[in-house]
Chain A
Amino acid sequence: MRRQQSLAAERRRKTVMSVVLAVICVIYVLPVLTVVLNSFKLNTFVKTETFAIPTKESWAGLGNFIKGMTFGNYPFWKSVLYSVVITVASTALILIFTSMAAWYIARVNSVFCKIVYYLCVFSMVVPFQMVMFTLSKTADTLHLNTPWTIPVVYLGFGAGLSIFMFVGFVKSIPLEIEESASIDGCGPLRTYFSIVFPMLKPTMISVGILEIMWVWNDYLLPVLVLDINKYRTIPIHIQYLKGSYGTVDLGATMALILLSIIPVIVFYLICQKHIIKGVAAGAVKG
């Protein structure tokens, strides 16, 4: 009897918790929902009726989206294009080169390797503001200020975390596999690409996710390095909607914000498992 009672109490407690969490969940989604609502409203109604469902009066249809395309004196599709180019190229560059370097560091382990490794670990605690001025000047002098060359800057500034994660993983791979490969006559290059590289896949995904999230959302580095009259990324585009002269069209701004978060949410829903795992792995960097 007692046991049955406590089981019933337990079940009731769980139901209450489920309901509470469900309510919080709804509150959590509200901000995004507000963006959706307001992206279909005429500008003047965004401020006065922020939380109302669009009425006949305030309904803007797709007007905000059409207007948003050329809003801010810069075409939105170009910002999207540059964001994609920079994110893909930087992530690819980081994944290939830092994993190779990490393997070399973990296996050769000379004094120079140790210096590089500890400098990388050190770079993880340095805030961007420390280097932003000198870094943007250096990038300018070396002509790294275009979407096609800025990945080099990302590789340099972002090397720390990925080297750290890759080295940690490579050290956990038993040496015997590589040894037998080298006995069978594989050179370092072949050993790396046909033996080690495939084994690094889980870490590749984690690091890749972290880098994609960082580069895609990064504002300060590209705004300081790129010539923003020619090249913008999505965050820069959104920030400069406010900066462009005249009043801000909030409806159009919300339309662009919606367009920029839809791909992110879709990407998240598709690779949710990897993203959560990657983030948890990256957090252990401390």
Chain B
Amino acid sequence: MKRNPLQQFWKNPTRRWFWLFLGPVVAAFIIGFVWPFAQGIWLSLCKFKTISNATFIGFGNYAKALSDPSFTHAFWYTALFAIVSLVLINVLAFAVAYALTQGIKGSNLFRTVFFMPNLIGGIVLGYIWSMIFDGFLSMYGTSILMKTEYGFWGLIILMLWQQIGYMMIIYIAGLQAVPEDMMEAAKIDGAGKWTTLFKVTIPNVMPSITICTFLSLTNGFKLFDQNMALTAGQPFIIQADGTVIKTTEMLALNIYNTFYGSNSASQGVAQAKAVLFFILVAGLGLAQLAYTRKREVQQ
């Protein structure tokens, strides 16, 4: 920001107001984020039962986390889920948004309905859909908890229902911002519907695509409530060495279960998993953002 007269004028008086304006947020931010974050990093390098008697052990927790088969399974399961849901959500949301910007009758009503599931919380969504899937699957004498595939596709359907409307809103905003004259120019130059879509419309809504892919990817990786309420990791597989693999358990739920499961000695490992999870989510988001930003049209 450029220097401005106000800054000079208020330099001293405003400084005095620091405690009133910035104080409360800074205090709460330290309590709610900065301190827990720093302490979390420190504890991931420690062995501890309670926070007060933590002893430094280096990267042992990370080694244990990475060699935990349930964690690696959760990682691949989550990655697959995030990619499948990213593709499906974005393709469908874009299609719906495209249809709704063609000036057809009832567009507003459709938009209202498609967005509605977004307001229902993850836990409630999970129980609604678990009832629906079980009502359906019980006709075939099975349940969503019986097969990993059911849990996977069940969660995909749930997420589609919840997220399409949200992404649709962002795409509609993007589509409405495409310059009208550009579309007309394409038409005059004799471009067909599909050519116009791929050569004019899509490059112009690239910012919306950036946002939506970014959001659906990180949402997929961070998913917790829906996962816990729908299957809670069921069905379980007990391996030969006695370790249990929860086949539909995603990363966030795996971390939660490592923290608050029956084995209280594993909290250091859980914190190490949480740090790895943080690096993954933050890294993915940033990498993906940088990649899509490059492909945006310069206006």
Which residues of chain A have a CB within 8 Å of any CB of chain B?
14, 17-18, 20-22, 24-25, 28-29, 31-32, 34-35, 38, 46-51, 97-98, 100-101, 103-109, 113, 116, 119-120, 123, 125-135, 137-139, 142, 144, 152-160, 163, 171, 175, 178-179, 182, 187-189, 192, 213, 216-220, 234-235, 238-239, 242, 250, 253-254, 257, 260-261, 264-265, 267-269, 272, 275-276, 279-280, 283-284, 286
List B contacts of A217 (CB < 8 A): 119-124, 225
Contact call B215/A21, Cβ cutoff below 8 A? no
Interface pair B31/A109, CB less than 8 Å apart: no
CA distance A14 to B104 in the complex (A): 6
Which secondary structure dominates chain B's binding surface? helix
Q: Are B106 and A18 in contact (CB under 8 A)?
A: yes
Nearest residue (CB) in B for A144 is: B31
Whether the Cβ atoms of B267 and A133 lie closer than 8 Å is yes
Do B6 and A152 have beta carbons less than 8 Å apart? no
A286 near B278 with CB under 8 A, answer no
A229 CA to B206 CA, complexed, in Å: 49
Q: How far is the CB of B98 from chain A (nearest CB, A)?
A: 10
Contacting pair B14 A178 (CB below 8 A): no
What are 20 residue pairs bridging A and B, where the CB atoms are less than 8 Å apart in the complex? A17-B99, A31-B117, A48-B138, A50-B132, A108-B10, A125-B282, A127-B281, A131-B40, A133-B40, A135-B36, A138-B36, A157-B33, A159-B29, A178-B6, A188-B10, A188-B17, A189-B17, A216-B121, A253-B127, A268-B116
Q: CB-CB < 8 A to B62: which residues of A?
A: none
State in angstroms the CA–CA spacing of A14 and B107 once bound together.
Answer: 11
- Are B104 and A123 within 8 A (Cβ)? no
- A100-B21, A272-B112, A286-B210 in contact; A107/B34 too (CB < 8 A)? no
Please give, as numbers and ranges, the residues of chain A lying within 8 Å of B224 by CB-CB distance: 128-129, 220
Q: Given that A48-B138, A156-B30 are known contacts, is A126 also in contact with B104, CB under 8 Å in the complex?
A: no
Give the docked Cα–Cα distance between A139 and B30 (Å). 12
- Cβ distance A19 to chain B, nearest Cβ, rounded Å: 10
Since A35-B131, A133-B259, A152-B32 are in contact, a sample of 18 more A-B pairs with Cβ atoms closer than 8 Å, ordered by chain A residue number, is A17-B99, A21-B99, A28-B161, A31-B161, A116-B22, A125-B286, A126-B282, A129-B277, A135-B36, A156-B29, A158-B32, A220-B224, A220-B225, A235-B121, A239-B228, A283-B170, A283-B211, A283-B212
Q: Check if B252 sits within 8 Å of A127, measured CB to CB.
A: yes
Interface string of B181-198 (1 = CB under 8 A from A): 000000000000000000
The CA-CA distance from A129 to B271 in the complex, in Å, is 9
Bound Cα distance from A80 to B277, whole angstroms: 33
Chain B residues closer than 8 Å to A98, beta-carbon distance: 25
A253 to B10, CA, bound (A): 58
Whether A157 lies near B169 (C-beta < 8 A) is: no
What distance in Å separates the Cβ of A205 from its nearest Cβ neighbour in chain B? 16
Q: Which residues of B contact A120 (CB under 8 A)?
A: 29
| A116 partner residues in chain B, CB cutoff 8 A | 22, 25-26, 29
Give how many B residues have a beta carbon under 8 Å from the other chain's beta carbons. Answer: 98
**Main secondary structure on A side of the interface with B:** helix
Q: In the complex, what distance in Å separates the CA atom of A32 from the CA atom of B267?
A: 39
With A155-B32, A280-B170 known as contacts, the answer to whether A101 contacts B115 (CB < 8 A) is: no
Closest to A218 in B: B121
Q: Inside 8 A of A157's CB, which chain B residues have their CB? A: 32-33
Q: Is B102 at the interface (CB under 8 A from chain A)?
A: yes
User: From A27, which residue of chain B is reached at the shortest CB distance?
Assistant: B161
Q: Are A156 and B119 in contact (CB under 8 A)?
A: no
- Chain B residues within an 8 Å CB radius of A108: 7, 10, 14-15
Q: Does A131 lie within 8 Å of B18, measured CB to CB?
A: no
Tell me if B32 and A17 are in contact (CB < 8 A): no
* A264 and B121 alpha carbons, distance in the complex (Å): 10
Partner of B215 from the list A130, A269, A286 (CB cut-off 8 Å) is: A286
Q: A47-B134, A130-B275, A152-B32 are in contact. Are A171 and B122 (CB under 8 A)?
A: no
CA of A79 to CA of B259, assembled, Å: 26
Most buried by A among B32, B112, B225: B32
Say yes or no: B259 contacts A132, CB within 8 Å. yes
